[in-house]
Chains A and B, each alone.
With several copies, the nearest count.
Chain A
Amino acid sequence: MKSVNLDLYRTMYLIRKSEETIQKYYAEDQMKTPMHMSMGEEAIVSGVVGALNLDDQVLGTYRSHALYLAKTGETDLFFAEMYGKVTGMAQGKSGSMHLSAPEKGLLCCSAIVASSIPIAMGAAYANKYQKNGKRVAVFFGDGATDEGVFWETVNFSCLKKLPILFVCEDNGFAVHTPREHRHGFSSLHKVVSSFDCNVFEEKSTDPEVIYRTTQKALSTMEQNDKPCFLRLHYYRYLEHVGINEDFDAGYRPKGDYLDWLKLDPIRLQREKLGTIGFSEQQILELEQSVDEQIARSTEFAAESAFADACELHTGVFI
């Protein structure tokens, strides 16, 4: 697990630093796309994606900076897209909310709540059909479980025993609405458990825990052929959309944040690296290489050209 822990840290550090970079430059007004920040959820995404195979596939939401970075490890296309440049993954057409990297297994991110969940099911159906052994993990918030299409998808995936992981990143809020104002049941775990699937739940900010849970989920799925539902709790550090804190708004107490911050995944994991035998020097080197990568990418993004105006009309059909 030593190298796994290092990889997990690298991924989380990449995510955190990339988002801090967004925070740093956002006021310059060059990234004209609404930012739904991942800060706080790094352990979940890094742990789950880390446990998947490289050719497994993932789908996400408008809040998928972490997912994109964890799955691809790259930042050139990422920042270029944020800057709306032709060198972005979609030439600036998709922005922050619709990240994708089909060749690396990120099939799509959608800004309509819950809408990528059935698409993930279709991808899983195709994988099973093609017997290629690929698994699909679809990431969504707790708000997505409000939508009927979530339940339809769980139902059909269980019925067909599809190789799919439902990853609910549960921060307890849909925008500003807490789950108690949205759910007519006391335990999501219990409801989902009444379907023919495997259910796991974690409240840890330790990516290794998430990683192991995901491994267990994957091997259980392999054994009993049933989809897995992972309910993974975290705390959203920033406002729903935007780069700032929003504790003055009054819908959630800052105390909760401070409690979670004590368990900040990136800080804890850095400490852990020390305890499992990595030197400060090794860690610093890793961090530096990530910092440099990000610096290169933002520079690349800033210097890249905008897509030609006529590009507006290309890509509607293939």
Chain B
Amino acid sequence: MRMITYCDALNEAMIQEMERDSNVFVYGIGVPDHKKIFGSTADLLEKFGAERCFDTPIAEDSMTGLGLGAAINGLRPIHIHIRVDFLLLAMNQLANLVSSYCYGIGGKVGVPLVIRAIVGRGWGQGYQHSKSMHATFAHIPGLKVICPTTPEDAKGMMISAIRDNNPVLIFEHRWLYWQTGAVAEESFEIPLGKGKIVKKGKDITIVATSWMNVEALQAAEILARNGIDAEIIDPRTIAPLDEDIIVESVSRTGHCIVADNDWVYCGFSAEVAAMVSDRCFGKLKSPVKRIGFAHTPCPTARHLENQFYPNAETIVRQVENTLGIDKIDLSNELFYSHENRFKGPF
């Protein structure tokens, strides 16, 4: 099958949906400019015109209301934020209005609104341009939250999100944009709320979100060379969660690590750990362990930033601890970093 990047997959999904349904439109700060949101909105202005692809003032709060109002009046807006952090200015609309609109109107009218938000990292993005916060939105009933990892998932889940009659937030990690993968040319849906086994394994389950799947895969390779067969589960959808795929895996392996691309405290990793500890009670051979950002704002200096983020090494070390095995010599491993980014096929 054809190989394309994550970024092109997002772009293709939007184009195909905009061709299919004239009610779909895309907007946000910088959406039609020459940078094209890192390329993900390429060709939209040219193909669909300025009414269906437009720039906005810097006014996240009202622009979110715009999406809600348009959505309940028959359109299917896609609102794009080049950084998740800017979404926080729209928190009132999201938590008080968008999420409860359908419920408050007696379940009669849906809100087919898609919000894309990019998770920043690297080159000193710092603490105002690198949050993820998917758990914050997943906590609120009435919002669907997804974190596609592969190009295929990016396309299929984006299309599902656009067709969904309810609000869907898409969190896209910036480092995934360069990733390539096999993606069908024709339009297809990947259902929301379904997790995926990224790699089969029998010794331990690693539940990973977003970019952490890349780290988990590298960790799994290293572990494999050392005789450990790790299974990796990508929930893909943060809310509603596919609990069963995780429970089934942990029931087999007896061990579970959650590697989330976010802070740990009160985050999605807590949810998964709590759920697994409950549903796999008695089958767990070790406590569920959580991996995530350091509990600090994200610093700018590269070496501190590298400390802030967990990576394959963090995962390997945790697996060693969990399984009680000897420390693996990692001195010859090359880990992903800003300079050594993962750009190949996933």
Contact = CB atoms under 8 A, between A and B. Distances in A.
Interface of A: 32-34, 57, 84-85, 88-98, 100, 102, 107-108, 110-127, 129-130, 143-144, 146-149, 152-153, 155-156, 159, 174-177, 181-183, 249-251, 306-307, 309, 311-318
B163 to A, nearest CB: 13
B142 interface: yes
Interface stretch (B38-46, B103-111, B182-190, B196-204): B103-111
A95 B102 CA distance: 14
Contact of A94 (B62, B71, B74, B126): B126
Interface stretch (B8-16, B275-283, B296-304): B296-304
A96 B300 CA distance: 9
Contacts of B57: 143, 146, 152, 155-156, 159, 174, 182-183
Contacts of A306: 301, 303-304
Contacts of B97: 110, 112, 115-116, 119
Interface residues of B, number: 70
Contact of A118 (B65, B106, B127): B65
A102 B72 contact: yes
Given A90-B106, A94-B106, A316-B103, A156 B66 contact: yes
17 contacts: A32-B302, A84-B302, A98-B128, A102-B109, A112-B96, A112-B97, A115-B96, A118-B64, A120-B69, A130-B75, A149-B65, A155-B57, A176-B34, A309-B304, A312-B294, A315-B102, A317-B142
A37 to B, nearest CB: 15
Nearest to B75: A126
B57 to A, nearest CB: 4
B311 interface: no
A153 B65 contact: yes
B55 interface: yes
B105 A100 contact: yes
A174 B58 contact: yes
Nearest to B298: A93
Contacts of A90: 104-106
B296 A316 contact: yes
Given A124-B69, A316-B296, 18 more contacts: A33-B123, A57-B73, A85-B301, A91-B301, A93-B106, A95-B300, A100-B105, A111-B126, A112-B85, A118-B61, A118-B65, A121-B62, A123-B70, A146-B58, A148-B61, A149-B65, A155-B57, A312-B304
A171 to B, nearest CB: 14
Contacts of B343: none
Interface of B: 25, 29-30, 33-35, 51, 55-59, 61-75, 77, 85-86, 89, 92-93, 96-97, 101-110, 123-129, 141-142, 144, 165-166, 294-297, 299-304, 307-308, 338
Given A115-B96, A123-B73, A152 B62 contact: yes
Contacts of A117: 62, 65
A176 B296 contact: no
A95 B71 CA distance: 23
Q: Which of B56, B67, B93, B294 has the most CB of A within 10 A?
A: B56
Contacts of A84: 124, 300-304
Contacts of A107: 69, 72-73
B106 A89 contact: yes
A127 B126 contact: no
A122 to B, nearest CB: 2
Contact of B129 (A111, A114, A183, A249): A111
Contacts of A124: 69
A153 B308 CA distance: 35
A147 B127 CA distance: 21
Contacts of A108: 72, 101, 104-105
Q: Which of A117, A119, A125 has the most CB of B within 10 A?
A: A119
Contacts of A34: 123-125
Q: Which of B56, B62, B75, B96 has the most CB of A within 10 A?
A: B62
Contacts of A122: 65-73, 77
A259 to B, nearest CB: 22
Given A316-B296, A318-B107, A97 B128 contact: yes
Contacts of B71: 122
A175 B55 CA distance: 11
Contacts of A174: 29, 57-58
A149 B128 contact: no
Given A34-B123, A156-B57, A148 B300 contact: no
Given A92-B300, A110-B97, A318-B110, A115 B65 contact: yes
B128 A112 contact: yes
B51 A129 contact: yes
Given A102-B109, A312-B304, A152 B61 contact: yes
A144 B33 contact: no
A90 B35 CA distance: 31
Contacts of B64: 118
A177 B107 CA distance: 36
A246 B223 CA distance: 47
B34 A175 contact: no
A256 to B, nearest CB: 17
Nearest to B109: A102
Contact of B107 (A111, A155, A309, A314): A314
A113 to B, nearest CB: 5
Given A95-B124, A98-B104, A312-B296, A317 B59 contact: no
Contact of B58 (A100, A125, A143): A143
Contacts of A177: 29-30, 33, 55
A317 B110 contact: yes
Contact of A93 (B65, B144, B300): B300
Contacts of B128: 97-98, 110-112
